[in-house]
Chain A
C-alpha cells in the first residue's frame, strides 16, 4: 500500500496543466482503441489507450477535482488499490509500445503517448514494473548496459567489428565533431550496423568518434518510466560528450533512445542543449542530399520487392519520415513499395516500449506482429528495411517465430552497401 501511495503521488506529481487539460478533453469516444495494434490484434477492450490511462485519470480526478473528491467520498468511484496498479502494469508494459498512433486518431488530438508515459512513471514509482524489464534496468544501472555490454565486452566487440569489416572506428577522440552512440542491440546483435555506420561516416570524411563512457544509447529507464533512471542514463551520454568536446551527438538506429535524448533530455538536463542531437537517419539524409556520399542508383532494384517499416519513435515521433524515402527512391526506385498505412500513420512493430524484453508479453507481441505480416504481404515484399534496431529485433524474432522467408535489414546497411567508394 505504501508503494501504491507512492505511485499515486507520482501520478499526481506528473499531472500538470499540460496533462490535466488533455485528460479533461477526453470525451470517452473510444476511437483510440482502433489505432492500437494490440487492441486490433487481440480485441481485448482493456488494451484501448483510453483505458490504459484510466488509472492516471482516476488519480487526477480524485485528487484534483471536486467532482472526483465527491464521487470517491460517496463511493461512486473506487480508490485505486495495489491490485489495480498491478493490473494496469500489465496493460501498460505488456500491451503498449508508447507508439503514439492513438494521438493521431484522437478527435480531440490528445497526445496519448505522453500520458501513457506518465502512467508508467506512476507504475514505476509504485514498484510494479514487470520483473524482466526491471532486471534490465538494474543491469543498466550497474553494468552500463541492459544487454550486459560491460567495458570488456564493448572493447572486444568494437575491435572485432573493426577487424572483421576493416573499418576504422575512432575511439575517445577529443575534439571530434560528432559523437556516435550505438545501442547495445547493435553492438551485440547487429554488429554490421556498426561497420556500416563507420563506413559511411569515414567515406563522408566526418570527424567522428565513439566514447567508452557514453557507449550505450539504450535507455531502459525511459521504458520503465522512471525519471531518476532515465536521467542517470542520459547523463552518462552527456558527460561522455562533454569530456570529448563534441558538437553533436548522433543516435544510431535505436528508437526510444532517440526519443529520450532528442525530445526529453533537455527538459531534465539543460546541458543537453549544448549539443546538436540527431538521429543517424537525419545524418544519412544530409550526407546524401549534400552529395558527401554517392549512392549507386537502382542498386537494390533487382533484389525483389522492398518495403520500409516506419518506426514509431523515429518517424512518427522523430520526424525523419522523408529521408528514408528519398534514399530508397535512389536505391530502389522500382522495387521500393510503400505499405499502407505508412509514414506517420504506420502500424507499430509491436516490440517497442520494452515489450520485447518481457517474456510473458510474447503472445501479445506476436499477435500484434501479425498486422505487420498482413501489411508486408499486401505489398509482396521480401525485404523489409527500417531505421530502428528495436523494430529490427522484433522483426527478426517474429520472422523466425512465424517461419517467414523475409530478409530484414536496416537503412544504414543498405546505404553502406550501395555506396560508391
Chain B
C-alpha cells in the first residue's frame, strides 16, 4: 500500500495535472525521449488514472529516473503543466517509500548522495573544484586537470582566493554559516532522507550479494 492521498497532495503533482488531456506534446519536445525509451506522457497517464498498483510499479521502476529535468515540457505544454516537476515529486516518494531500490537507476541515487550531498554538507557547495577529480570526470580534459592540480595558482590568476574566508568565488564558508546549513539540512529532513537512501541501498546489496 502506498499513501496515495499524501502523494497526490504534493503541490508538484497537484499543480501539474491541470486540465491535462494527455496530448503528448511533452513527449514530442522531451530530450530524454530522444535518448531513452521514455515518454513523460506515460508518467502523466498513470498519474491521471490514480491506479494504485500502476503507480506503485512506476515508483519501483527505472522509468521515473530517465527525465533530465530540463523542463522543456513546461515550455510547450498547452496547459502550462510541467511533467518534469511532477517527476521530481515521484522520485521523492520513490525514495521516501524505499521503492527506488527495486530500480537499478534508482539505486544510483546513492552516488548523488555521496557526491553532491556530501559536498553540500561538508563545504556548502553543490560543486567544488577540489571534488572534480580526473577519475570521476575524465571528460573534463587536460586543461581542467592542470587547474585541478594547480588550484592555488590557477585561481589566483583570476584574482580568486580559493578556500579562504571572506567574499568571492569558491571562498571557505565559515563554521558559523555551516552550522546554520547543517541545522536546515537536519531540521527539514534532508539528512534523514540521505540516511534512508544509504541504508536502503546497503540493505538491498546485502540481501542480493549472493545473486
Q: Say whether A and B bind each other.
A: no
- B residues at A contact (CB < 8 Å): none
- A residues at B contact (CB < 8 Å): none
